[in-house]
Structure 1
Amino acid sequence: MDLIGSLALFLAPSKVDRWTRALTDNTFSGIHQLGWFDWLLLVPYFVLLTILAIYGAHRYAVVRGYLKYKHRVPLVPETKFAALPRVTVQLPLFNERNVVDQLLESVLKLRYPKELLEIQVLDDSTDDTHPYTEALVARLKAQGHPIEYIHRTDRTGFKAGALQAGMAQAKGEFMAVFDADFIPPEDFLEKTIHFFSDPNIGVVQTRWTYLNRDFSLLTEVQALMLDGHFALEHVARFGQGLFFNFNGTAGILRRVMINDAGGWQHDTLTEDSDLSYRAQLKGWRFIYLPWIECPSELPVDTYGFQVQQQRWAKGLTQVALKLLPAIFRAKIGWREKAEAWFHLTPNLSYPLMVIVSALMLPVMIVRFYIGWGQMLLIDAPLIVCSFWSVVTFYLLAEHELYPNNWKRAIFILPFLLAMGVALTISNTKAVIEALMGKQSAFVRTPKYAPKAAGSLGATAYKRKSGWLPFAEIGMGCFFLFMALYCIEVMNFFALPFLMIFVSGYFWAGFSTLWQEHQARLRYQRDSAKVEVEAIS
C-alpha cells in the first residue's frame, strides 16, 4: 500500500560532508552530472513513487471528508415501520466448528418477534462442522427456535453461492448477514431495521469491533488498520453521498435490492463489494451506522492474516476490472467516479512497490552523488503526501474511537508499517492473478473463538504456505544488505526506515514458518494420540 511506498522516499543517501558542502554552496551538488543510465533508473523510480504518493494523498481527502461530514451520520431513523417486516438472518459457514456455538448463542438472543424472524445456517462444511452443526440446529429447532439448516455438498459460488441459495428459500424481506466469527448485539435488529422504512435504502452497515484485539501485537495492528476503514473511510464516503460498500457481514440488505442489482454473483472474491457497487449504480442508497458495534474475531496468526488480505486484494481488483468501465459510463458525478477508483484500485500499489524495491539499491547508489537540497526539492512533497498522511489517518481514527486511549496507536504505527511491508509479496501475487483473470477458491480465514485462540484452536490449520515465507525472508535479507550499505556510506538517517522493511519481511516469513512447524507438531501429536486410542 502507499504506507510502505512512502518509506522508500526517505532513502536519499549522501555522506555528511556532502550534505555540508551542499548547504554551504547553496547548490544541488552533482545533479547535472547524471548520465542517461542514471535517468533510466531515477525516472521510473520517481514516477512510481509519485503514483504511490497520490494514493497516500487521497487519505487527506478522506480525513477532510470525515471531519466535514461526520455529523451527517444518522442517530435515529426519520420514520419507523408501523408493522415490523419479516427478517431472515443468514449465517454462512465453512469448516468453522470452533465458533459455531458462540455464533448461534448470540443470534438466538436477538430481540425481534419470533414469528417475524427466520434464521438460516448456510453450512458448506466438509469436516465435522457439518454433522455437529446439523445436530445442534435440529435440537434448537425442536426447542421452538425459528432456525433452519441448509447444507450444500456443491460449493459453487462459495459464500456468494450459499447466500443466493439461502435467499431462494428465505421468507424475509430483509437479509441480515453475519459471518461465523461475529457476535451481534441483542438489540441489533431493533436499532437497524427502522432505517429501511425509507424505501430507497438498500443496505444498513454497522461497525466491526474485535473480541481479541488485545490478544497479540498482530491483532492490535490489524485492529488499527481496520479502524481507519470503519471509523473514517465509511463515514467520509457516506457523509459526502459517495459510493461505499457493504462489508459482507454485520449488516442488513433489502431483498428487493439484491434482486434488482442482479443477485449475489461469484465471479469475484469480494462478492459484497461487487453487489454494493451494482446496487448503488441502480440508485439504491446505503446507510452506515458506526455507533452500532458488532464484535468479531481477528486472525491470530500471520498466515491467516495474509490469506484474508490476499482475498480482499484480489477480490477488489476483480471488482475494479468488472465494474469500473460501467462506473465511468454511468450518469454520476466525477467525485463518485474518482472515489470509486481510489476505493477499488489501491492494491495496485503492491506490485508497484515490488518494482520500487528492486530499483531501490541502484537508485541509492546513484543518489549518493546527488546533493542534500535535491531531497528537499523532490522527496519532501512526496513524504508529506504519503508517510504523513498515514500517520494523520490512523491517529485520527484512534482519537475518534478511543479519545482516552488513542496515544497507544503512536507506538503501534511502526508495527503497522512493518505489517504493510509484510503484505507486499502475497498481495502482489493476488493482484497479478486478478489482472490475468486467474480464478481461485474462496479461502476462508481460520477462526478459533477467543477461548481457543491461545492454542490456535483444536484443529491446527492443515495448510502449506509454499514459497511465500522464503520469498519474504529473501526480501528481508535484501533490505538488510541495503541497511549495511547505508552504514558504509554514513547515511544513518535512512536506517530506521530500512529496518521497518527488514523487520516486516522477517516478521512475515519467520513467523509463518514457525507457526507451520508448531502446526506439524500438533498434528503429529494428535495423530499419535488417535492411533493409541484406536489400539487400546
Structure 2
Amino acid sequence: MTLLALFVLAIYTGCLIYITLYCLLQFNLLYHYKQSLNPTEHPVSFDDFRTAGKGNSSDAANKPAIPQAHNAGTARYAGTDVAEAPASAACYPLVTVQLPIYNEYFVIGRLIDAVAAFDYPRDRFEIHILDDSTDETTALVAAKVEEYQARGFDIRQIIRPKREGFKAGALRDGMQEARGEFIAIFDADFVPEPDFLQKTIPHFADPKVGVVQTRWEHINQDYSIITRLQALQLNVHFTVEQVGRMNGGHLLQFNGTAGVWRRATIEAGGGWQPDTLTEDLDLSIRSQLAGYKIHYLEKVGSPAELPVEMNSFKSQQHRWMKGGAETARKMLPDVWKSTLSFGHKVHATAHLLGSTIFLFVFLCGVFSVPLLFLFGELAALGFSKNFFAIFLAGLLSVIGIYYTANVQSVANKEKNFLRSVGKFILLFPLFLALSMGLSLHNTVAVLQGYRGKKSPFVRTPKFNISTIKDRLTSSKYLTGRLNAITIGEGILSLYFCFAVWGAFYLQNTTFVVFHGLLALGYGAIFFYSVKHLRLAR
C-alpha cells in the first residue's frame, strides 16, 4: 500500500510541476504584455512603402520588392495599430482575399457582403471564394458572385476538380489563381470591418513582416454560458499570449483567419501543407524560421461567430488540440535545430506543446482521488498535505492572466470596470470547471496527434447566430451520435462526485474544491453534449 501511495503521489506531483511551469511561462508573457500598455512604436502609413522600397539594407535587398506608395498620410486611427491610406488609388498594393469554405450555407453570404464592402480601391483587390462545398452552398455562392460581378467587383468562385487536403489543400491550390502580392484569409464565420485592409496592409512596409494578424472579436459572446466561456478563453490568446510573444521576441501564430500574408512568406515557409489539422500554426512556425516575422494588431478587431452548440464546440477543440500535437511532433525538431536563442526555443516549445496541458490536467484529476484516500499512508511517512500550497503560484498566474485579458486589456478598457470585474468573478470559476471538464476529450485528441493517427478536417458548423434573440432552428451540419468520450465524461462526473463525498467522510477537504469543479465541469460537458444531440435529430 505504501508503494502505491508513493506512486500515486509521484504521478500527481509530476503533473502539478508540469502545469505550474507552463503557467509561469504564461506569466512571463503577461509581463511582456503589460509593457505594451504604453506603446512607443512609431505609427505606420502607406507612405512607409515608399521608404521601404528604396531601402539599402540587406533585409530589403533579400526580400521581395514592396510596391511604392505616394501622397500618403500619417494619421493614426487608434494607437499604433492602424494607419491612414494614401489619396491615390494607384498606390495601393494588389491584395487577393481568399475565402476557403466547405458547406457554409448559413454564413457565407454574410462574409461575401462584408468583404465586398472593403473601403479599398475596387481594382486593387480580388475576391476568391475557394469553394469545396458539396451542398447548396455552391449555388448560393454562384448567385452572390454573379451579383457582385455585375456591380464591377473582381470576384470568382473557384471549385477544385479534386478536393484534397481540406483547408490547407484549398489554400495551396488557390495560390495558383491569386494575383495579389498580399493574401488576406477569412473563414466563413467572420464579418471583417470595411477598413480591414486599410489597417493591416501598411505594416508590410517593414520587409521583415510576413504576416499581419488581427484580434478575433465575438459577435455572439453573450448568447449563452457556452459562448461566454469560450470568449473568456479566446481573449487570453488574443491579448496576453499574442502581444506577450511579440513583445518578447518569441514565435507567434497566424490564427487561420482574419490575417494577411505576404505571398513571398508563404513560399519561403514551404507553402500550405495538409499533413496537420492546424495548417495555420504549422506554416506560422516554418515561415518564422525562414526569417519572416508575424506582426499582431491587438487594436484591430475582426468579428466572428462562436459555436453555440456543445458538440460543434468539441469538434473545434478536437481539431485544435490534435492539430497542435501534430504540429509539435512535426516542428519541434526544427525549432531546436534553428538559430533561435535558448529562451525563444523554450517559449516556442511551450507554445507548440500548449494542447498537452489538458493531458496533465486529466491525469492530475484522475490521480487526485486515490491520493485523497491514501493520505493516511503518506502521513505515516511524514508527508504533509501543506506541500501542495507551493503550486498555488500556477493558479495565481492563471487568475492574473485571465483577469488582465478580460478586464484590463485594450479590448475591454472602454467597458464598465465594475461590471467587467463582477462578470469575471462569476465566470472564471465556471471557466475552470469547463476547461477541466474538456480534459478527457482533449486528451484523446492530443494522444491521437502524437501517435500520428490521421483524421479528416471536421469543420465547425455556424448558423448566423448573432444575438440572444436568434435561435438554432436547423439541424443541418450537426451530427447526432452519442460517443464513448461523452459517456466517459458522464462517468467521470460521478467519479468526482464520489471524491467530494469522500472528502467529508475522511474529514480531509484538501481537494474538495478541485473535485467539485471537476464534477461540475464533466457534468456540464456531458449534459450539454447529450442535450444538443437532440438538435441533430
Q: Which of 358, 366, 374 is the matching residue for 2:366?
A: 358
Q: CA deviation at 1:353?
A: 3.0
1:179 is aligned to 2:187 = yes
Q: CA deviation at 1:376?
A: 6.5
CA gap of 1:243–1:451, structure 2 versus 1, over 3 A, is closer
Partners in 2 of 1:357 and 1:292 — Cα distance? 39
Partner of 2:496: 479
Q: What whole-Å deviation, never above 9, does each CA across 1:77-104 have from its counterpart, x for those lacking one? A: 2624412110000011111110012111
Residues 120 and 149, structure 1, Cα contact 8 Å, conserved in 2: yes
Partners in 2 of 1:40 and 1:431 — Cα distance? 24
Q: CA deviation at 1:354?
A: 3.0
Partners in 2 of 1:172 and 1:431 — Cα distance? 37
Q: Which of 452, 472, 478 is the matching residue for 1:456?
A: 472
Q: Which of 446, 449, 458 is the matching residue for 1:431?
A: 446
SS in 2 for 1:310: helix
Partner of 2:86: none
Q: CA deviation at 1:436?
A: 1.0
Partner of 2:27: 60
Q: CA deviation at 1:72?
A: 4.9
Partners in 2 of 1:256 and 1:456 — Cα distance? 42
Residues 5 and 377, structure 2, Cα contact 8 Å, conserved in 1: no
Equivalent AA in structure 2 for residue 502 of structure 1: A
Partner of 2:219: 211
Equivalent AA in structure 1 for residue 420 of structure 2: W
Partner of 2:55: none
Residues 203 and 254, structure 1, Cα contact 8 Å, conserved in 2: yes
CA gap of 1:225–1:198, structure 2 versus 1, over 3 A, is same
Partners in 1 of 2:20 and 2:362 — Cα distance? 15
Partner of 1:103: 111
Q: CA deviation at 1:123?
A: 0.9
Q: CA deviation at 1:452?
A: 8.8
Residues 206 and 292, structure 1, Cα contact 8 Å, conserved in 2: yes
Partners in 1 of 2:396 and 2:309 — Cα distance? 29
Residues 172 and 271, structure 2, Cα contact 8 Å, conserved in 1: yes
Which 5+ residue runs of structure 2 have no aligned equivalent? 50-67, 70-90
Q: CA deviation at 1:157?
A: 1.1
Q: Which of 354, 359, 379 is the matching residue for 2:388?
A: 379
Name which of structure 1's ranges 292-301 and 37-46 shifts more when overlaid on structure 2.
Answer: 37-46
Which 5+ residue runs of structure 1 have no aligned equivalent? 1-33, 521-536
Partners in 1 of 2:40 and 2:522 — Cα distance? 39
Partner of 1:118: 126
Partner of 2:420: 406
Partners in 1 of 2:535 and 2:361 — Cα distance? 32
Partner of 2:233: 225
Partner of 1:419: 434
Q: What whole-Å deviation, never above 9, does each CA across 1:450-473 have from its counterpart, x for those lacking one? A: 259843253444312522211100
SS in 1 for 2:507: coil
Partners in 1 of 2:154 and 2:535 — Cα distance? 42
Q: Which of 135, 153, 160 is the matching residue for 2:143?
A: 135
CA gap of 1:124–1:53, structure 2 versus 1, over 3 A, is same
Over the aligned positions, Cα root-mean-square deviation in angstroms equals 2.0
Partners in 1 of 2:472 and 2:229 — Cα distance? 18
Q: What whole-Å deviation, never above 9, does each CA across 1:411-441 have from its counterpart, x for those lacking one? A: 1001111110121111111111111111111
Equivalent AA in structure 2 for residue 194 of structure 1: P
Q: CA deviation at 1:142?
A: 2.2
Equivalent AA in structure 1 for residue 241 of structure 2: E
Q: CA deviation at 1:190?
A: 0.9
Equivalent AA in structure 1 for residue 426 of structure 2: F
Partners in 1 of 2:391 and 2:510 — Cα distance? 17
Partner of 2:508: 491
CA gap of 1:331–1:492, structure 2 versus 1, over 3 A, is closer
CA gap of 1:74–1:93, structure 2 versus 1, over 3 A, is farther
Name which of structure 1's ranges 148-157 and 451-460 shifts more when overlaid on structure 2.
Answer: 451-460
Partner of 2:65: none
CA gap of 1:255–1:390, structure 2 versus 1, over 3 A, is same
SS in 1 for 2:212: strand
Partner of 1:444: 459
Partners in 1 of 2:302 and 2:428 — Cα distance? 25
Q: What whole-Å deviation, never above 9, does each CA across 1:164-190 have from its counterpart, x for those lacking one? A: 111111111100001101111111111
SS in 1 for 2:175: helix
Partners in 1 of 2:161 and 2:37 — Cα distance? 45
Residues 72 and 239, structure 1, Cα contact 8 Å, conserved in 2: no
Q: Structure 1 vs Structure 2: percent identity of aligned residues?
A: 35
Partners in 1 of 2:400 and 2:471 — Cα distance? 36
Q: CA deviation at 1:152?
A: 2.6
Q: How does 1:232-271 map to 2 (within 5 A)?
A: 232-271=240-279
Q: What whole-Å deviation, never above 9, does each CA across 1:182-208 have from its counterpart, x for those lacking one? A: 111111111111111222210011111
Equivalent AA in structure 2 for residue 47 of structure 1: G
Equivalent AA in structure 1 for residue 525 of structure 2: A
Residues 469 and 510, structure 1, Cα contact 8 Å, conserved in 2: no
Q: CA deviation at 1:74?
A: 4.5
Q: What whole-Å deviation, never above 9, does each CA across 1:307-341 have from its counterpart, x for those lacking one? A: 11111111111111111111101111111101101
In terms of fraction of residues, the more helix-rich structure is: 1
CA gap of 1:213–1:104, structure 2 versus 1, over 3 A, is same
Q: What whole-Å deviation, never above 9, does each CA across 1:242-263 have from its counterpart, x for those lacking one? A: 1101111111000011111111
SS in 2 for 1:455: coil
The aligned length equals: 486
Partners in 2 of 1:460 and 1:485 — Cα distance? 44
Partners in 1 of 2:260 and 2:392 — Cα distance? 40
Equivalent AA in structure 1 for residue 462 of structure 2: K
CA gap of 1:383–1:480, structure 2 versus 1, over 3 A, is same
1:284 is aligned to 2:292 = yes
Q: How does 1:488-527 map to 2 (within 5 A)?
A: 488-492=505-509, 494-520=511-537
Equivalent AA in structure 2 for residue 103 of structure 1: L
Partner of 1:170: 178
Name which of structure 1's ranges 174-183 and 447-456 shifts more when overlaid on structure 2.
Answer: 447-456
SS in 1 for 2:24: helix
1:468 is aligned to 2:478 = no
Partners in 2 of 1:249 and 1:260 — Cα distance? 20
Partner of 1:146: 154
Q: What whole-Å deviation, never above 9, does each CA across 1:138-167 have from its counterpart, x for those lacking one? A: 222122211100123532111111111111
Partners in 1 of 2:529 and 2:171 — Cα distance? 32
Q: CA deviation at 1:47?
A: 1.5
